[in-house]
Structure 1
Amino acid sequence: MIQDSSYLLPGNHNGVLLIHGLTGTPNEMRILAKGLNAVGFTVYSMQLAGHCGNEEDLCQTTWQDWYQTVQDSADFLAQKVDNLFVAGLSMGSLLALKLAADRPTQIKGVGVLAATFKYDGWSIPYWVKKLYFLLVLFKKLGLFQKKSFIEKPPYGLKDERIRATVSESMLSGDSASAGLAGNPLPALAEMQLLAKQVKKQLPQVICPCLIMHSGHDDIADIKTNARLVEKNVSGPTTFITLDDSYHLITIDRQRKEVINECISFFEQIASSSSSSSTTKIP
């Protein structure tokens, strides 16, 4: 049975929905969640469908299932706050962008953290980059559906101490804490379908976007992922390049910078929203 690892940190009337990445867990958002909550935000870090279990659990779900849990979580948090923000890590940022595109009047701002439309970072093997586009076809044909792409060091982490802790939990099979060690090919195919859909919808994102990405991302190259978002969304963007982190920027060396930038970004929007709502028309 999959354990629900979602958690709610009560705060003020400004809420932030946090979305983890593919094969990840709400734990990878916990430091950010605590940082946001410490300054008053109500934070809900959700768990995507099929996650925090085994590979079979994940492969029984589709990207539509993942997105449905995002929508349900947004509805849950919206009942508790006046202003709703969303931030996602890796694939989670794609789901966050889709939510903003689908709910332009509800979502006030998006944190796009290490956006991942495709695995093309410097640590990804050449054959994976070249064959990635075939995964959807493989799934349709039922080929290689029991195979997984096993992650290799540095596991998205530049900080060696944190890397050792995360890899130990991940390789021990503690998926509820650190996620899965492998990326099942069927799940990667679903992520590719999600990426295709989100690319089409980027122009529909009209709210402000905070885009943060490492210039040394080992999983997703900044030029083909983060810059894609910056170029295609319709809302105003703030682009920040990190220089001392790899992919998992919410827990890596510059995690405090990620927290501070998110706080500043969301607070500024919340402040302007509050001002406009209290302004009286003469």
Structure 2
Amino acid sequence: MSTASSIVPGAEPYSTEGGRTGVLLSHGFTGSPASMVPWGRALAAHGHTVRVPLLPGHGTTWQQMNTTRWQDWYDALEHELLDLRTQCDHVVVGGLSMGGALALRLAALHPEAVDAVVVVNPALAMGDPKLKVLPLLKWVVPSIPAIGGDIAKPGQDEVAYPRTPLKALHSMVRLWSDIIPRLGEVTTPLLFFRAPQDHVVDGQTIELVRSRVGSRVAEFVELHDSYHVATIDHDAELIERRSAEFIAEHVSRDG
């Protein structure tokens, strides 16, 4: 994990104590908690206990991230989930982009610990042809231009890396092949937010989830005024309000 002294300002993790329903939120690939903290604070205002961790290799340098793999990111989230479960009667997991993919894996592997899943523009597949050459390209160049910062609203910053580390990116692509066969094991209530004008993740993921997820309750909401990092974009309030309602509807209320 990153040490506190090495964390880029604005990328710090967020944690707050609340009631007996916990919410674990994960940022995306090369991003940071900055993209999730406003959402986390909004859910905390409803009385929930909230955790927004900083994933290994993030919030420091892209070079450091290139030494981490998807197993490191998942293990950190799994640790947070199991710890949160010891404090709370119910736990909701959510995530943006890669964080959404990790949240779905948590729900598949820990159905006894996850009571609902909320994802925003999750990434499980992309049609970019450059991804096919990653196994070789990652040994030739260490990084390519950044994929972060796809936000329509002016003045917003997810505190993402200025470069995309390719060894880490290739690992994320490998993560997809692990999760897709597990989608049928996701049976908890699912709330899926999708921005059609997302410039990072295309529409393949939503089609995969629609056709394969095992959840009997699966709600899909379009975000018409946001790009990829919708959690801090024009539709942030919609995400915050609808996710709070979804938790109240499908997860036991704090008492």
Q: Is the structural similarity TM-score above 0.5?
A: yes
Number of aligned residue pairs: 247
Match of 1:156 among 146, 150, 164: 150
Match of 2:206 among 226, 229, 243: 226
Query: Equivalent residues in 2 for 1:1-282 (5 A)?
Result: 2-3=3-4, 5-120=12-127, 129-139=128-138, 142-144=139-141, 146-151=142-147, 155-162=149-156, 166=157, 178-221=159-202, 223-235=203-215, 236-271=217-252
1 CA distance for matches of 2:32 and 2:84? Answer: 19
1 CA distance for matches of 2:166 and 2:3? Answer: 20
Secondary structure at the aligned position of 2:36 is classed as helix
Bigger Rg over Cα: 1
Contact 2:82–2:113, Cα closer than 8 Å, also in 1: no
Unmatched tracts of structure 1, length 5 or more: 121-128, 167-176, 275-282
Give % identity: 29
What root-mean-square deviation, in Å, do the aligned CA atoms of Structure 1 and Structure 2 show? 1.9
Secondary structure at the aligned position of 1:161 is classed as coil
Cα deviation 1:237-267 (Å, max 9, x = unaligned): 1000111111111100010000011101111
Q: What is the deviation of 1:143?
A: 3.1
Cα deviation 1:4-58 (Å, max 9, x = unaligned): 6222111100000000001111111011001100011110011111111111210
Determine which structure has the larger helix proportion and give its number: 1
1 CA distance for matches of 2:71 and 2:103? Answer: 13
2 CA distance for matches of 1:181 and 1:147? Answer: 10
1 CA distance for matches of 2:14 and 2:147? Answer: 27
Unmatched tracts of structure 2, length 5 or more: none
2:29 is aligned with what amino acid?
L
The farther-off stretch of 252-261 and 68-77 is 68-77
Closer, same or farther in 2 for the Cα pair 1:231/1:148, shift >3 Å? same
1 CA distance for matches of 2:81 and 2:133? Answer: 33
Q: What is the deviation of 1:117?
A: 2.2
Closer, same or farther in 2 for the Cα pair 1:28/1:216, shift >3 Å? same
> TM-score, normalised to structure 1's length?
0.83
Q: Which segments of structure 1 move beyond 6 Å, counting only runs of 4 or more? A: none
> TM-score, normalised to structure 2's length?
0.91
Q: What is the deviation of 1:273?
A: 10
1 CA distance for matches of 2:136 and 2:105? Answer: 24
Contact 1:94–1:115, Cα closer than 8 Å, also in 2: yes
1 CA distance for matches of 2:153 and 2:160? Answer: 18
Q: What is the deviation of 1:148?
A: 2.2
Closer, same or farther in 2 for the Cα pair 1:81/1:272, shift >3 Å? closer
2 CA distance for matches of 1:81 and 1:272? Answer: 11
Closer, same or farther in 2 for the Cα pair 1:18/1:247, shift >3 Å? same
